[in-house]
């Protein structure tokens, strides 16, 4: 593990332990730090041995780094459009000595398949902006606004490009808001991605879901499985055992 004193950290940056193989992550607290949704998506997604994977909108690179820690993989790519995030993600790849297996590419999600190749990947992951451009948007140039709102790409852009990037029978894994589930499934069907597994994420057992994980297969048969709910907290501030397993990378929660 790299000692924090050996890592150059800029203003508002911190070094976090990813609890995987000694990997660490530089995060900028003024831009956007990863949350439970990124951890859940990286745990939910599965990568075949020697498989290829691209993460659309990779931010600081946390999802492909977690995927690499768990599965290895022949080729992993993080696609990101914001220069400040591209720089941070590349530093994180270098920090963890992953240059041979993980590449960070600056580019627009709307052009992902043109940049990276059609039918080139076994797996695509994405934790895209949850809210449409008009939902409570105040500053469209703010880094956090771009991460949360559909300013630079829409849900349709993400799903269309995921389908184009995938090989036949490849898997698309996404985490989003349950309120947009019907829209997601309609768009997936439009682009020949068949939802196969759906799992709702609830903050507490008695509360309604706030996130949903979807596993869709390109060219898959029309049959979907609704999996047991995933609960984040046993009590305020107390994570469930399942969430702690995700956090520490122990076991196969999904």
- 29 within some domain: no
- In this structure, the number of other CB atoms found within 10 A of the CB of residue 237 comes to 6
Task: Cite the beta strand spans of 96-252 per DSSP E.
Answer: 102-106, 121-126, 166-176, 193-202, 211-218, 225-226, 230-231, 233-235, 238-239
- Number of domains observed in the structure of the chain: 1
* Run of H or E residues at 42: helix 36-44
- 141 within some domain: yes
243, 214 contact by CB (below 8 A): no
pLDDT at residue number 92: 97
Instruction: Give the residue among 83, 86, 88 at the shortest CA–CA distance from 13.
Output: 88
pLDDT higher than 60, residue 150: no
pLDDT at residue number 167: 98
- 7 within some domain: no
- 112 within some domain: yes
Task: Cite the beta strand spans of 138-191 per DSSP E.
Answer: 166-176
- 121 within some domain: yes
pLDDT higher than 80, residue 144: no
SS3 of residue 247 by DSSP: helix
pLDDT higher than 90, residue 203: yes
- 18 within some domain: no
What's the rounded mean pLDDT across residues 199-208? Answer: 97
Quote the CA–CA distance of 227 and 40 in Å, as a whole number. 14
Q: Provide the percentage of residues in the chain whose pLDDT is more than 70.
A: 88
- 1 within some domain: no
- 19 within some domain: no
What's the rounded mean pLDDT across residues 123-134? Answer: 79
- Cα distances from 132 to residues 55, 135, 216, in angstroms, run 20, 6, 22
106, 57 contact by CB (below 8 A): no
Domain limits at 235?
34-248
Looking at residue 168, which CATH number applies to its domain?
3.40.50.150
pLDDT at residue number 166: 98
Q: Could you give phi then psi for residue 176, rounded to 5 degrees?
A: -155, -170
Query: pLDDT digit string (tens) for 24-69?
Result: 999 998 888 889 999 999 999 999 989 999 999 999 999 999 999 9
What's the rounded mean pLDDT across residues 12-29? Answer: 92
Q: 253 pLDDT band (50/70/90 cuts)?
A: confident
């Amino acid at each position: 593990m790299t000692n924090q004193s050996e890592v150059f950290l800029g203003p508002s940056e911190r070094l976090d332990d990813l609890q995987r193989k000694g990997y660490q992550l530089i995060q900028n607290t003024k831009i956007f730090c990863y949350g439970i949704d990124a951890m859940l998506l990286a745990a939910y997604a599965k990568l075949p041995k020697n498989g290829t994977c691209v993460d659309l909108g990779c931010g600081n690179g946390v999802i492909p780094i977690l995927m690499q820690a768990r599965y290895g993989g022949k080729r992993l790519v993080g696609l990101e459009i914001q220069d400040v995030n591209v720089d941070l993600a590349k530093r994180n790849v270098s920090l963890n000595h992953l240059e041979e297996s993980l590449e960070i590419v600056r580019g627009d999600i709307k052009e992902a398949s043109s940049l990276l190749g059609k039918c080139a990947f076994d797996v695509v992951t994405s934790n895209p902006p949850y809210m449409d451009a008009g939902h409570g948007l105040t500053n469209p140039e703010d880094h956090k606004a771009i991460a949360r709102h559909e300013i630079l790409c829409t849900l349709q852009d993400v799903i269309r490009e995921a389908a184009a990037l995938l090989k036949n029978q490849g898997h698309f894994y996404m985490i989003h808001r349950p309120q947009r589930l019907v829209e997601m499934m309609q768009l997936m069907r439009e682009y020949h991605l068949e939802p196969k597994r759906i799992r709702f994420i609830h903050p507490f057992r008695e509360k309604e879901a706030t996130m949903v994980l979807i596993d869709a297969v390109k060219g898959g048969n029309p049959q979907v499985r609704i999996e047991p709910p995933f609960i984040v907290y046993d009590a305020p501030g107390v994570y469930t055992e399942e969430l702690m397993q995700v956090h520490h990378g122990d076991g196969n929660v999904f």
